[in-house]
Amino acid sequence: MKQAIVLFSIAALLQGCNEYTSEPRPEVFTLDNIDRLVVEDILIPEKLDPRDKEYRYKSGATDLNNDGREELLVLMQDPYFCGSGGCSAYLFQDSGELLSRMTVANTPILLASRETNGWKDFYVWSDGALRKMAHNGQQYPSNPSVEPSYDRTRERDAARQYIEVQEIYVQDGFDLTLIEDVPIFYPAHTYQFQFKHYGDPQNLYLFTIDMVTGDTQLVTQSVKSDDVESKEH
């Protein structure tokens, strides 16, 4: 499963719509060519010209129905697609077919560990809470704000407490902080924390824990360079 988050400025990617319409439409869309899907299947149907302004969005990809092909989710960030409660999101097959459209959606958008009707559940932040998005056999819900809420507080706190008693943190670790800016379709039961260490001021420590499997990963990243050392447990 690929987890990715992408923030694009459409205007920066396009020189004009004509260069797309003159080229064959891709048979398979990925995060690498999703900008064309946004233009042709989101902007143009709304009679919006990507040459007029920047239309920003976030995107992620994962296989939701276990067919070996990734579905693509686009969360628009432009005021045209957003209101006080959130923004419009579009779920596509990799062929470009629109599967579902959602309103009042925000990040985080997290992948659940359960399935409904052969499709993986996921959570969308809407109306002040994570909302469970379960497939009804035809599509996902269109309005996350009215779906059942899901609270990760207890599990998140347990993840924090686990890290707080690890030797690497007990020995001069400090400033333990949850990393909340995670990719779209990031696993809902996996948590990333960062902390500093008095004995190693040149590095930032990144600790990831999967609360389902118990797997952990500790990454030390130099605060002066992009060099990363990874230790998996």
pLDDT in tens, 156-192: 999 999 999 999 999 999 999 999 999 999 999 999 9
In this predicted structure, which of 9-13, 109-113, 198-202, 216-220 has the lowest mean pLDDT?
A: 9-13
In the chain, the DSSP E strands lie at: 6-9, 56-62, 71-76, 82-83, 86-92, 98-116, 119-126, 129-133, 149-150, 173-178, 186-187, 190-197, 203-210, 216-222, 228-232
**Which of the 8 DSSP states describes residue 136?**
-
How many residues appear in the chain?
233
On whether the CB atoms of residues 81 and 35 are closer than 8 A, the answer is: no
In the structure encoding, which two tokens stand for residue 113, read together?
Answer: 């560990």
Contact 76, 91 (CB under 8 A): no
DSSP code, position 9: E
Q: Can you read off the two tokens belonging to residue 94?
A: 């990799």
Question: Of 62, 110, 135, 67, which is closest to residue 212 (Cα–Cα)?
Answer: 110
pLDDT digits (tens, 9 = 90+) for 75-108: 999 999 999 999 999 999 999 999 999 999 999 9
Domain extents for the chain? 6-150, 153-232
Nearest to 4 by CA among 96, 56, 105, 72: 72
Q: 37, 4 in Cβ contact below 8 A?
A: no
Q: How far is CA 77 from CA 34, 52, 91, 113, in A?
A: 15, 16, 15, 27
Q: How far apart are CA 46 and CA 157, in angstroms?
A: 43
Retrieve residue 183's tokens: 């990719």
Looking at residue 21, its pLDDT comes to 57
Q: What confidence tier does 223 reach under pLDDT thresholds 50, 70, 90? A: confident
Structure tokens at 11: 């205007």
Q: How far is 135 from 116, CA to CA, in rounded Å? A: 6
The conformation of residue 35, written as its DSSP 8-state character, comes to H
207 burial via Cβ count (<10 Å: 0-12, 13-18, 19+): buried
